[in-house]
Amino acid sequence: MSVRPTKHFTRFIATLKIPTDRLGDCLSGIEGMSVPTRSGKEQKVWLPLHDSTIANQVKFLLPWVSRYLTGDVPRGSSRSDRDCVALHWNPEVRGRLRGHWSAESPQGSEGSRRRYEFTICDVETYIFSTGIVAVATECELLKCSGEDPNLDDVVNFNYDMQHLAGDRAPMVQLVPDKEGVPPAPFLPGSVAAPEGTTLLCVIQESLKPVFNDTHESLDPRTFRLLTYVGVPESTNSDQLGQLFYRLRRVAKESYEAAPADLAMEGRPDTVRTYANVFIGFSLEGMAMLAIDSSQPFAQERPNRFRCSYFAHYLLALHQRASLLSLALEAGNLPRITMACLGTGEIDQRIRELRLRAIDFNLHHRFAQVSTMTHYATVYSQMVDALAIPALVDEVRDEVAELDEVLAFYRDRDHVEQEDARRQAGESEAQRDRRLNQLIAVLGPLSLLLSLYGTNLPHYAQNPQYLSIPILLPLGVWAIVTSLLLWTLRNRPSAR
């Protein structure tokens, strides 16, 4: 599309997860980072966001959501941690970082490459108490292959930037204030950005206390996009459908849209807030397409999208990232076995996961964030586009299933213990029965021996040895012993 935008910018948002027990150290490290200035003094790399920026971000949010996003600890609360800490990157060099990057051109122009030149207008980082960190890098495309960019160039730039690979990341350098004057420092231990520094390197170096071996990337595609494009009033309306589709889906030219996808409104992934303003969402990003007009309100639209709409998108992205983190943690739990249940470690990890899920639902999940109709509508459809309700159900089901598995193993363990106790009782009863049988034999015999003693005459010396006085007690002993043995053998065993 040869139409040139009247105004455009894209915010590339990276989300990652760090352990919550490292949050304090990370925050202290970031806030303590500084670089030397030309005068020999030290200047902080990260500073709190400007009051005006925060005021614009939370202007249309509900009061408790505003307090959440600005990191205010509720009055009278026993908590000491802030829900969100927002920092702004080294304002001394803002707008003087330039990037250049070459990407493959579309099919049909073999051998040629698109050469992008862009400026990094801003870098902001938002550190949430959940361990989620969102880094927003705002860029504006200056040139494409040496010419002023048109709308196709902007969309292609967004697509290529989102599909970065390590060997084709854009190079970034610091542009001097004026010719012959060395650029100001912008990274700790670095006088200037050397040739070959990448955009990801800039973010990683400036967030060293966060980007280390313990962090987890929550999305292999690195960036979510927030794009604003203004077009002239004279733009052909037939062209806007394809542009709007590519903007909200971050699609390149070869991805042809289905006819239904080209609709500008009336879809679940699009909202028309005013006559000349269209907003679209997808898992890849969010886009505003604004047709210029002479209304004074139109001049405020880019900044409104940069701040107020970005705050809504940031809240939704944080919820999605938190839920992905909880689901990832549930999936990484070791297989539950009787051996690991015996240690108590798995019980503790599941208990902590359940508590984090409860804490997320109570303090970090927002169904409504504004009383303004168009903001509430945009946020509601944005939440659906990011599949947050489905993720909430998934995490809730996973935690419930873990509880059911634990309950099953506990019940099975209880049954096995009962079986073991019953078997031990039966073995003891068997031992008692054998002992009783022995007593049944030896008891009457000992009584007989005690009656006659052991001084019985020898049969050869006394032929009357087998007389009735002798045989009668022996017969009684035999009968009594037989009755006792019969009784013991036929008595039902105890269960």
pLDDT surpassing 70 at residue 269: yes
The pLDDT, as a whole number, for residue 86 is: 92
Q: Per-residue confidence at 411, pLDDT binned at 50, 70, 90? A: low
pLDDT surpassing 80 at residue 412: no
What percent of the chain stands above pLDDT 90?
22
Pick from 16-20, 47-51, 92-96, 108-112: least confident: 108-112
Pick 296 or 216 by higher pLDDT. Answer: 296
pLDDT surpassing 80 at residue 107: no
User: Which helix or strand (DSSP H or E) is residue 420 part of?
Assistant: helix 388-452
- Summarize the confidence of residues 220-244 as an average pLDDT: 83
Pick 277 or 45 by higher pLDDT. Answer: 277
Per residue in 135-144, pLDDT tens?
898 989 998 8
First to last CA, the chain: 87
The pLDDT, as a whole number, for residue 191 is: 45
The pLDDT, as a whole number, for residue 110 is: 44
Q: In this structure, what are the phi and psi dihedrals at residue 89, rounded to the nearest 5 degrees?
A: -85, 130
- Summarize the confidence of residues 65-88 as an average pLDDT: 83
The pLDDT, as a whole number, for residue 388 is: 92
pLDDT surpassing 90 at residue 274: no
| Residues 265/374, Cβ–Cβ less than 8 Å | no
β-strand partners of 172: 99, 197
Q: Per-residue confidence at 40, pLDDT binned at 50, 70, 90? A: confident
β-strand partners of 223: 14
pLDDT surpassing 90 at residue 409: no
What percent of the chain stands above pLDDT 70?
69
Segments in 231-369 forming alpha helices (H):
237-249, 301-304, 310-331, 338-343, 345-359
β-strand partners of 293: none
pLDDT surpassing 50 at residue 212: yes
Task: Enter the tokens of residue 83.
Answer: 């829900």
Mean pLDDT (the chain, rounded): 78
- Single-letter residue type at 119: T
- Single-letter residue type at 481: T
pLDDT surpassing 60 at residue 5: yes
Q: Round to whole Å and give the CA distance between 265 and 270.
A: 6
The pLDDT, as a whole number, for residue 495 is: 47
Cα separations in angstroms, 1 against 11, 150, 241: 22, 7, 12
What pairing do the DSSP bridges indicate for beta strands 46-48 and 42-44? unpaired
For residue 52, count CB atoms less than 10 angstroms from its CB and return exposed for 0-12, middle for 13-18, buried for 19 or more.
exposed
Q: Per-residue confidence at 432, pLDDT binned at 50, 70, 90? A: confident
Taking the CA atoms of 302, 95, 119 and 167 in sequence, report the sign of the dihedral they define. Answer: negative
Helix (H, G, I), strand (E, B) or coil at 131: coil
